[in-house]
A = this chain, B = another copy of it.
């Protein structure tokens, strides 16, 4: 394909939003700073000689607030980050000297949509449900698609429907559906470069267990170097019924951070 054809294809495609809006009062894990935005200057605060005026803002947020990507520096196991990098040494200086958000590559390529809730004939998988390798592979089998190294996996549990009810969305009492260890290993085996879900932690969380253990983070981030995307908004993508799409994501290059807010898109031809 030549440059003109690529530009034309991009312009003509439908863009499906996979990211959530950022706003004061939005749900946020108590582990992370919440999101705050305040206008510093408003129109009329200072008017230029020509009658124009500019407004601006200050933003406080975390690298893991709203739809975001986990950098590999986010999780360590027995003192090591992915690839055996010494976590204590990497974080000395107050920002990660390697594996930080600035090293998360932009991802443009194929995305595969695993709409598990729909496949299991429900709107929302139950709290504590573990998405299995079979759940994943049977969707591809039905669609006649082979996974390829470098694909991005987007897994829908339907739990994102609870976004506006922060307590229910957090799911402490109910548990949260998510990717099981078995599914994580399948994703690793097939060479996915990133895995995203419409939940807080990507993980299968048992009722009452909270975030006490996050084994899928270890398998994906530490062992395999696969990025995790959280708080995806997947209801619009579910409405399309597609499995294969083009995925576009460009995290902010925050030097030495453990994550970055993102606005991922599904680019759907036609």
Interface residues of chain A, those whose CB is within 8 Å of chain B, are: 1-11, 13, 15, 17, 19-25, 30-34, 36-46, 48-64, 73-79, 81, 87-88, 91-96, 102, 105-106, 108-111, 150, 212-215, 217-218, 222, 244-259, 261-265, 267-270
Contacts and interface: CB of A to CB of B under 8 A. Distances in A.
A49 to B, nearest CB: 7
A129 B243 CA distance: 51
A59 B186 CA distance: 35
Contacts of A268: 3
A87 B256 contact: no
A28 B270 CA distance: 42
A50 B7 contact: no
A267 to B, nearest CB: 7
Contact of A63 (B5, B59, B75, B215): B59
Contacts of A49: 212-213
Nearest to A102: B21
Contacts of A51: 77-78
A2 to B, nearest CB: 6
Contacts of A269: 1-3, 6
Contact of A56 (B2, B22, B64, B245): B64
A161 to B, nearest CB: 19
Contacts of A54: 31, 74-76, 214, 217, 258
26 contacts: A1-B9, A15-B108, A20-B253, A22-B253, A23-B255, A37-B255, A37-B256, A39-B258, A42-B94, A43-B79, A46-B93, A48-B214, A53-B75, A53-B87, A54-B75, A54-B76, A55-B74, A55-B87, A56-B258, A58-B61, A59-B61, A59-B254, A61-B61, A250-B262, A250-B265, A252-B263
A11 B91 contact: no
Nearest to A60: B60
A268 to B, nearest CB: 7
